[in-house]
A and B are shown apart, each in its own frame.
Chain A
Amino acid sequence: MMVLAAWNLEFAWRGRDGEIKAVSGFSAEFPGGVPHFICGPSGSGKTTLGYLLSGLAVPDAGSVSLTGVLPGQRDNIAYVFQFAEDLFFEDTVAGELKQIASGREERAHEVFAQLGIHLSEILAQPPHCLSAGYARLVAVGLQMARDPQVLILDEPTIGLDWRFHQSMAAALRNWISPSRILLVITHDLDLMRELGGQAWVVSGGQLAWSGDVAALLADVSLLEKFALRF
């Protein structure tokens, strides 16, 4: 089984306001086959953790490793940013598809159908003209079509209406397998309830709680404590 492992991660952002510690002493193992949810209050370090786990940021200390990769398989990790729609570069959705999932058009159509979108109907559209919710679905769908070994999504359901929320949940459920690792950074308890799996609650840059999603959702005091309850 494939496992993404983090060991004792430390990271601080350095900027005009000085050094801000974002992640401290974070260790975890994320096996494939079950969805993993990283949740916690705003500013708790969730997105930074996503950057570290995906290799987009290098930890000040500690390490991240991916084990169980079969020989010949590409060691690929896909990350979809919170504002993924800001990262479209091409003139059309077809151009984005060519850049991101070239040669995987058939798979892309399949994934988009699961997400509730007819890909052929939007291929000619400029991606920056899509509505925010649609753009997010497109960004997620394009990365899913690549079938990376690790897929990290930062708040993928924000701004989705209930219909697309349902289809996103279904598409992610279909995508999960023992040879794929899914990590979702989210505040969305409905998505967690739909998919189940493992919850990793981050607070102040540290792992504050981990366990079964159902156990977290059943514990009102935990939800209140970590600002997860609306």
Chain B
Amino acid sequence: MAELTASDLRFAFGQRPALFDGLNVTVRTGETVVLWGENASGKTTLLRLLAGMLEPLRGAVRIDGTPIAEQRGRVGILFQNPDHQMIAPTVEEEIALGLELRGTPPEVMQPVVENLLGRFGLEQMRSRSPESLSGGQKQRVALAAIMAFRPLFLLFDEPDSYLDAPSRRDLLAAVEEIRSEVGMLWTTPNPRRRPRADRLLLLERGQIRELSESELTAHAQTGVSA
């Protein structure tokens, strides 16, 4: 089991007040953690820190003690808008792109791509342009492309925001498929919309605290879904 750990994080944008000061969080492989926070609570920023896309002003992000900067390929991030992470002309090429850029030999790459096309139900659309797919299909392609790297951790930035009901079920089914292989952190502004979780966290005023199911349910009942 591996651990992705953020300890004593401090972060601020420019001269603005610190978004986090002394924030701690841990995600372990094999567990699914849902992180709920209101708008502008810093969910996206935290995910970017955990993925090594931003540098904290203080504190560190590590996987089993090794700084994240030395193992960025071990953390994948799925953005709210899948269009932000797709550039290849076809689904198949999109899944292969990361491996190709790393110089993976075709004979190694092709079986990986074939396996992912099958696992995520993408064989029928392998030659299609990602642009022409529905939101749920795009998220599945993005997920498959990330899994090509064999990450230890997956960070989901409100990935179901733009999905209709069938597409959301589609994405949740894909998440179930890989649940045991990786550690997942799934952010949402709406406590009613989330995958099955092992732990529930609340990000509030720059700090994280654990919530019980009943606490989360109580919060969910105060609001309406977005």
Which A residues contact B (CB, under 8 angstroms)? 15-17, 20, 41-43, 82-83, 86, 129-134, 137, 155, 157-166, 187-190, 194, 227-230
Contacts and interface: CB of A to CB of B under 8 A. Distances in A.
A80 B193 CA distance: 25
Contacts of B26: none
A130 B40 CA distance: 7
A164 B39 CA distance: 8
A200 B162 CA distance: 19
Contacts of B129: 15-17
A162 B221 CA distance: 10
A150 to B, nearest CB: 24
B13 A129 contact: yes
Interface string B51-92: 000000000000000000000000000001101000001000
Contacts, number: 97
Among A16, A83, A155, A162, which residue has the most Cβ atoms of chain B within 10 A? Answer: A162
Given A133-B40, A229-B165, A161 B189 contact: yes
Nearest to A158: B161
A189 B225 CA distance: 8
Contact of B38 (A83, A86, A161): A161
Contacts of A17: 128-129, 132
A162 B224 contact: yes
Given A158-B161, A159-B39, A161-B38, A131 B225 contact: no
A227 B222 contact: no
Interface of B: 13, 38-44, 80-81, 83, 89, 128-129, 131-132, 134-136, 158, 161-168, 189-190, 193, 222-226
Contacts of B222: 162
A82 to B, nearest CB: 7
Determine chain B's interface SS by DSSP, over half rule. loop
A160 B189 contact: yes
A131 B158 CA distance: 12
A188 B224 CA distance: 10
A161 B203 CA distance: 13
Contacts of A227: 164-166
A163 B38 contact: yes
Given A42-B136, A165-B225, A188-B225, 6 more contacts: A15-B129, A42-B135, A131-B40, A158-B226, A161-B223, A163-B223
Contact of B163 (A20, A42, A134): A42
A183 B203 CA distance: 34
A42 B134 contact: yes
Given A17-B128, A132-B80, A161-B39, A41 B223 contact: no
B44 A155 contact: no
Contacts of B136: 42
A43 B190 contact: no
A158 B39 contact: no
Given A157-B226, A160-B226, A194-B224, A230 B168 contact: yes
A159 to B, nearest CB: 5
A105 to B, nearest CB: 23
Contacts of B89: 16
Contacts of A162: 190, 222-226
Contacts of A164: 39, 226
A123 to B, nearest CB: 14
30 contacts: A16-B129, A42-B136, A42-B164, A42-B166, A83-B83, A130-B40, A131-B42, A132-B158, A132-B161, A133-B39, A133-B40, A134-B39, A134-B40, A158-B162, A159-B80, A159-B158, A159-B161, A161-B39, A162-B224, A163-B39, A164-B39, A164-B226, A166-B223, A187-B164, A187-B165, A188-B226, A227-B166, A228-B164, A229-B165, A230-B165
